[in-house]
Chain A
Amino acid sequence: MKKLTILSSVMLLLSLTAISCGGEEADQVEQETTEETIQENTGDLRFIANGEDFVRSGFISSDGWHITFRHLYVTITDITAYKTDPSYDPHSGDEIIGNIVVELNGVFTIDLAEDDENTEPILIGSLDDVPTGHYNAISWSMVPSIDGPSEGYSIYIDAQAEKGNQSYNVRLGFETGYRYSAGDYVGDVRKGFVNAGVPGELEMTFHFDHIFGDIDQPAECDLNMMAIGFEPFAALMGEGTVEEDLTTLERKLPEETYAKLLEVLTTLGHTGEGHCYCTVIQ
């Protein structure tokens, strides 16, 4: 009887051990398989910048100024793509935490106004052999350029503004830095899918109609309510030229308008139509 009890206990112990070890074994096999899959399956990931047709073709501001851009420079760095699960919600205001994170090194000054409406968005750079899958979040920083035509500014606008018989050269520089964090691309097609042999693409999109407004949208729509239009800049005109930066604008613009401008600048970054969480880099 005693032998029988001991035998039963040993059997039970063995079973319990097997059950607990069996699960770990299965998990381990699954993990190894996943890692092998990632190593075997890599592809390229392209990063593009897009100022949209507003910038390439010009547009009419909410207060009736026809603005055409000769150049619109932005200086971008810390471009990072993420595969996140769960997906990143920019409304949360959290940092993006990725299972896989890849970064395009370098500082890039780009002219969003180059060419015309038929031009493809600008390729900033590409990463080779990144793990395949869906990159569903992106972050980047805009920092003051250290050289070139936009030196000292993260955003530099060189444009022509016309209304009736008034025509002005506009040169606006914004020296503040911004960090934008976005989730999945929102647009006509989905982006961020990297497959072996088929590159994926992520887009940093800039909505400059947020500053000037858009006459094609209703005056009471939230875009135009948020925008400051061009009149506040026109009021600063001297000798047919506006040449200002945030330092001078802080002194010259009405207080409320300047505060509104600071707020609007944080909303420029998007991925397609998807909004970003933005922090100001001091």
Chain B
Amino acid sequence: MHGNPMKILLSSAALLMLTAPVFGHGARVVWEMQDDSVHISASFDDGQPLARAQVTVFSGAAPSVPYIVGMTDENGEFSFLPDKEKSLNWDVQVRSAGHGDIVNLSLTEESTVKNEQGKFTTLQIVLMSACVVWGFIGTAFFFASRRRR
């Protein structure tokens, strides 16, 4: 080591590598919505598919109990239809011979977002209704007064 520039360079490169995440044989799961289905794609960090790997799907409603158990195909892919009424949060774990990853899926439906945004308290609803009614009354008074002139 001492006085060998090549060795110093190699060691420095190795140390630099160590500051970055290292996943020598890690697995990675990515997902996307395809219509109403969740499509899972699992691969090793080098891009090879996690073929015939065990898939376990957990619903946010009961996150420690498997909801679906299945297997990826030759391409490391798997699809399932989530019951959005049960939960919008799902976890999908994929494992194969000591390699594994788990991803959390937060499904957001437009309709659900609208419903969330459309929530008002009773007080708000009463006041808004009063406001609309008062608008009609005010308009009626306005035209009535013009007619009298």
User: What 0/1 readout, one digit per residue, does chain B (77-113) give for beta carbons within 8 Å of chain A?
Assistant: 0000000000000010101011111111010000000
Residues of B within 8 A of A23 (CB): 121
A106 within 8 A of B: no
- Known A19-B127, A251-B1; contact A4-B14, beta-carbon cutoff 8 A: no
Q: Mark A233-251, 1 if CB is under 8 A from B, else 0.
A: 0000000000000000011
**Main secondary structure on B side of the interface with A:** mixed
- Chain A residues within CB distance 8 Å of chain B: 1, 4, 8, 11-12, 14-15, 18-19, 22-23, 25-26, 86-87, 89-91, 93, 134, 136, 183-187, 189-190, 193, 207, 209-210, 217, 221-223, 226, 250-251, 255-256, 258-259, 262-264, 266-267, 272-275, 277-280
Tell me the count of chain B residues lying within 8 A, CB to CB, of chain A. Answer: 53
- In the assembled complex, the CB of A269 is this many whole angstroms from the nearest CB of chain B, namely 10
Which partner residue on chain B sits nearest A264 by CB separation? B24
Q: Which residues of B contact A (CB under 8 A)?
A: 1, 6-7, 10-11, 13-15, 17-28, 44, 46, 48, 58, 63-64, 91, 93, 95, 97-104, 106, 119-121, 123-124, 127-128, 130-131, 134-135, 138, 141-142, 145
Smallest Cβ distance from B145 to chain A, in angstroms?
A: 5
Which 3 A-B pairs have CB atoms at the shortest separation, nearest pair first? A273-B100, A186-B100, A259-B14
When the two chains form their complex, are residues B28 and A91 in contact, meaning their CB atoms are under 8 A apart? yes
Closest Cβ of chain B to A274, distance in Å, is 6
